[in-house]
A and B are shown apart, each in its own frame.
Chain A
């Protein structure tokens, strides 16, 4: 499986407040995603919704446990690749089916210009800048978690089994 999209370069400690601001928390999901698409996340990048690959540093998704991963997925983000991902954000990725990876130990953030074509090759465990050929190895989340996030997320299963019903 490969995910291809434009690179969006982010720094360290990108909080969920920037993905889903409190002012948008109670809006319908479609409006939350539209706001993300229409604004500049972290004051640095704009999400195009065309399977953007977010390349971030440490602590991606730190902060509130609000469902930010759901908004990224709804906005058309293809994958997140970060040096480290907050546990609450990772849980959201697993639940809502957002591809989310950490670089392998010792790797640095992939160098890429904003909008550069990037491929996440899940089988090969690399993220590659198609324009330059530069690549980084990906680490592995435990198999059960990665299978859930790449399989659409646990929420769909819970709903299908009648265990929960979205309000």
Chain B
């Protein structure tokens, strides 16, 4: 299914990581920007939404049940029909096709992208797909995560194959050590503000700055690349990733890892010096060319703060939030919601005392779900509210009322703002 418009027109050059993985998944020697390739994904994640009336589909058969993971994360705990019906339908699907990897409501509950990372559901060099736009999070594992729609997911579950249009690759080299209060979220906000829209692009992150990051930190940035319009984001396979996979008991963690060819072609090659960055904030109602240093935002009082989502619901996020609010009180009139990325993270945060510290300060710690980030559940923003959130997106209406004003920032900035009652970086409360 390679596009004849581009096939053979240019002299062969090396491939980027994304092009190599697409080539492998499509059984072709090479893939280049402009190609539409038919691929056989290695992992398929079906969500509760795939079983929702009006969105999902009944599937008479599936091609590769062993490649399927089922995760309930958007509509949990289900509060009413049709969500309750969707979850029941999903459970029937799991039983009917003998799906082993199933995350129902309960101790195994979590946001799919967090679970994929924490449980090693995708390996280096693999292609994983799901119906959620943040599937690009899997790039932290030197893999490609492709976001599909509900029809695509049904088709790929039944036939085992789907398609992707390969875009150009932009290379970001991150170097140096970030200063205090600067997180991967701030790197994303810097990229969104300085370089803007990246529709269809594959983003490849390299450099000494990346090498110092944990897989979870890489996931935070990879996840956010959906907000740039990127199709894929990917990080190198290195000792950090190998250690992460080895800790999960995965044998031969380097197997399948992918590096770019030395003569790979990039649409742009950009350098970011992490030491030069500072805590950043995205203003309502979008991130593209719409970010500022936190210190330049001015006096913005907030009524709601949120830490969570597939980008920033990790144990480290909960730890960071707890350390900032420790011994303090959440400001009067502020609702501070903290949602772990999984129930395993939630339990660990209880064991380590983070949840108590947060609760003592006045935060509300919820069960793991997409929840507030997607305007779901019971914790949604009301009209006229000003929100600062470490979640993924701030389009008008995303977190609830279209009349709410949502700012995006790092977990540290959100926690500091919850204490201050206005948007401030952690540097201002420490």
Q: Encode contact with A along B30-42: 1 for CB under 8 Å, 0 otherwise.
A: 0000101000000
Say yes or no: A65-B197 contact (C-beta < 8 A), given A22-B397, A163-B158, A164-B59.
no
Are B152 and A91 in contact, with the CB atoms below 8 A? yes
Q: Which residue of A lies closest to B80 (CB)?
A: A26
Task: Give the Cβ gap from B83 to chain A, nearest Cβ, in Å.
Answer: 8
Are A85 and B148 in contact, with the CB atoms below 8 A? no
Is B374 part of the contact surface with A, judged by Cβ < 8 Å?
yes
Q: Which residue of A lies closest to B86 (CB)?
A: A167
Interface residues of B in 149-185 (CB under 8 A from A): 149-152, 154-155, 158-159, 165, 167
Q: Which residue of B lies closest to A43 (CB)?
A: B396
Is A45 part of the contact surface with B, judged by Cβ < 8 Å?
no
Main secondary structure of the interface of B (DSSP, over half): loop
Q: How far is the CA of A29 from the CA of B167 in the complex (A)?
A: 32
B52's contact among A64, A158, A167, by CB below 8 Å, is which? A167
Say yes or no: A63-B393 contact (C-beta < 8 A), given A12-B288, A142-B5, A164-B59.
yes
Task: Give the Cβ gap from A142 to chain B, nearest Cβ, in Å.
Answer: 4
Q: How far is the CA of A105 from the CA of B43 in the complex (A)?
A: 35
For A18, list chain B residues within 8 Å (CB).
395-397
Interface size class of A (residues with CB under 8 A): 35 or more
Say yes or no: A145-B397 contact (C-beta < 8 A), given A12-B288, A58-B197.
no
Is B298 part of the contact surface with A, judged by Cβ < 8 Å?
no
Q: Which residue of A lies closest to B155 (CB)?
A: A158
Q: Which residue of B lies closest to A85 (CB)?
A: B199
Are A96 and B151 in contact, with the CB atoms below 8 A? yes
Interface residues of B in 36-91 (CB under 8 A from A): 36, 51-60, 82-83, 89
Is B209 part of the contact surface with A, judged by Cβ < 8 Å?
no
Task: Give the Cβ gap from A18 to chain B, nearest Cβ, in Å.
Answer: 6
Say yes or no: A167-B55 contact (C-beta < 8 A), given A87-B231, A91-B152.
yes
Q: How far is the CA of A13 from the CA of B286 in the complex (A)?
A: 8
